[in-house]
Chain A
Amino acid sequence: DIQMTQSPSTLSASVGDRVTITCRASQSISTWLAWYQQRPGKAPKLLIYKASSLESGVPSRFSGSGSGTEFTLTISSLQPDDFATYYCQQYNSYSLTFGGGTKVEIK
């Protein structure tokens, strides 16, 4: 099974900050990676798919990059709505695995 490791697990930042979250796969997954945002008490929301494709309706301050085993989610200028938990998710051989999550907190 492919394992996904996110870092950091918690991140403290201020409005306007540039934020980067990393996700590492235990083996190469090409660009088969998605990113989700989850606010407390809500379902996850798709932000990025195929490592760098922005889901329709998602603000352009969100971007994704990477391939193989290392991926990043970047928020170019953190907004109040962005304080949430972020998950990466890989898809490989018809099996999906999520990372452990990164909680973005107010500094």
Chain B
Amino acid sequence: QVQLQESGPGLVKPSETLSLTCTVSGGPINSYYWSWIRQPPGKGLEWIGNIFYSGSTNYNPSLKSRVTMSVDTSKNQFSLKLSSVTAADAAVYYCARAQNGLWLNYWGQGTLVTVSA
């Protein structure tokens, strides 16, 4: 059974860069698309972007200027960097597997990121 686990700092200062890693176990990272999604407390879901195992990416246009995603197939991990964070970036961040880049069939448990000085 494929499992995903997010990791990274739970507290980021305003204007700094949020960095998260998702570790995939129980299956290969190769041949799949991988996604980041976030959910501010009490609000809905927002797709951040997809990365293919080869490294090609697609980002949400509203976040594109601040987002960088990368993949490390040797570690079965993929990562998210979001620069110049503000309070509006505080959310639970989820990683997920995007079947054919289209629908999200495996999810991590999510990690809460707070933005505060």
Question: Which A residues are closer than 8 A to B by beta carbons?
Answer: 1, 32, 34, 36, 38, 42-46, 49-50, 55, 87, 89, 91, 94-101
* Contact of B58 (CB < 8 Å), options: A44, A94, A98: A94
**Counting chain B CB atoms within 10 Å of each CB, which of A43, A50, A89 scores highest?**
A43
Interface of A is mostly: strand
In the complex, 25 of the A-B residue pairs with CB atoms within 8 angstroms, ordered by the A residue number, are A34-B102, A43-B94, A43-B96, A43-B107, A43-B110, A44-B94, A45-B107, A46-B103, A46-B104, A49-B102, A89-B47, A89-B103, A91-B102, A95-B47, A95-B58, A95-B60, A96-B35, A96-B47, A96-B98, A96-B102, A97-B47, A98-B45, A98-B46, A99-B44, A101-B44
Question: Which B residues are closer than 8 A to A by beta carbons?
Answer: 35, 44-47, 50, 58, 60-61, 94, 96, 98-99, 101-105, 107-110
In the bound assembly, the distance between CA atoms of A40 and B7 in angstroms comes to 21
Contact B102 A32 (CB under 8 A): yes
In the bound assembly, the distance between CA atoms of A94 and B96 in angstroms comes to 15
The smallest C-beta distance from B54 to any residue of chain A, in angstroms, reads 14
In the bound assembly, the distance between CA atoms of A45 and B103 in angstroms comes to 11
Closest-by-CB residue of B relative to A6 is B44
- Supplied contacts A89-B103, A91-B101, A95-B58, 10 more A-B pairs, CB within 8 Å: A44-B94, A44-B107, A45-B107, A46-B104, A87-B44, A91-B102, A97-B47, A98-B45, A98-B46, A100-B44
